[in-house]
């Protein structure tokens, strides 16, 4: 590490904000370009680099830089970029797994209950519901109305609409579970 870098590091550890700002303004544009070449998105690259500087300031008392400041900053940018890419890959994998599970569950449900049976279960279950609950369910699911619209039209609170929808959906779940047990 050269004398200039040692001086910058000493001032950073002492909490000299001016030295930190100089370091930031000197290296930020180049680090952003480097990070963007890795993560392929400008906004993400800026976040990666800002995180590097945030961590430097936050951990300034424990900083152990043995190479040049530039080498340290670019290595930290690389490491943060790789962490971002690994996290993004994990999230994509989880999203794909969730979608795959939902498709499998839907396909499995289609094999167990055909459309006509499902309609019969829904009609039967809705007929057993109190009139207001049935009306709210029909307006929401079949007429496409929002809860607030239903509440205004019927002169009731949105909470009442939510409560009745919860009852209707629970009744449908119970009916479907019972049907599956007998099928």
The predicted pLDDT at position 104 comes to 52
Q: With contact defined as beta carbons under 8 Å apart, do 179 and 117 qualify?
A: yes
The predicted pLDDT at position 103 comes to 55
Q: If you ran DSSP here, which 8-state letter would residue 100 be given?
A: H
Sketch out the chain's domains with CATH numbers.
Answer: 3-94 (1.10.1740.10), 113-182 (1.10.10.10)
The predicted pLDDT at position 100 comes to 59
Question: Residue 163's closest CA among 122, 180, 176, 154?
Answer: 154
Residue 173: which residues within 8 A CB-CB, separation 6 or more? none
- How far is it, in rounded angstroms, from Cα 173 to Cα 50? 48
Q: CA 14, 20, 23 angle in degrees (round to 5)?
A: 135
The predicted pLDDT at position 108 comes to 52
Tokens of 177: 């579970």
The predicted pLDDT at position 175 comes to 86
The predicted pLDDT at position 86 comes to 84
The predicted pLDDT at position 119 comes to 79
The predicted pLDDT at position 179 comes to 77
Q: With contact defined as beta carbons under 8 Å apart, do 28 and 76 qualify?
A: no
pLDDT under 50 in the chain at which residues? none
Residue-wise pLDDT tens digits, 67-91: 889 999 999 999 999 988 888 777 7
- How far is it, in rounded angstroms, from Cα 151 to Cα 157? 5
The alpha carbon of 106 is separated from its chain's Cα centroid by a whole number of angstroms, namely 23
The predicted pLDDT at position 67 comes to 83
Averaged confidence pLDDT in the chain: 84
């Amino acid at each position: 590490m050269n004398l200039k870098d040692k001086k910058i590091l000493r001032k950073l550890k002492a909490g000299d904000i001016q030295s930190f700002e100089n370091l930031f303004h000197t290296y930020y544009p180049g680090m952003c370009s480097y990070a963007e070449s890795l993560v392929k998105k400008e906004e993400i690259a800026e976040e990666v680099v800002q995180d590097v500087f945030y961590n430097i300031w936050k951990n300034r008392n424990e900083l152990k830089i043995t190479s040049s400041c530039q080498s340290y900053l670019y290595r930290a940018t690389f490491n943060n970029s790789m962490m971002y890419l690994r996290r993004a890959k994990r999230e994509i994998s989880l999203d794909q797994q969730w979608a795959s599970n939902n498709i499998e569950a839907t396909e499995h449900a289609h094999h167990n209950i055909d459309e006509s049976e499902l309609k019969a279960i829904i009609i039967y279950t809705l007929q057993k519901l109190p009139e207001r609950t049935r009306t709210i369910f029909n307006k929401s699911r079949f007429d496409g109305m929002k809860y607030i619209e239903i509440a205004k039209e019927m002169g009731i609170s949105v909470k009442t609409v939510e409560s009745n929808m919860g009852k209707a959906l629970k009744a449908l779940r119970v009916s479907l579970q019972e049907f599956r047990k007998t099928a």
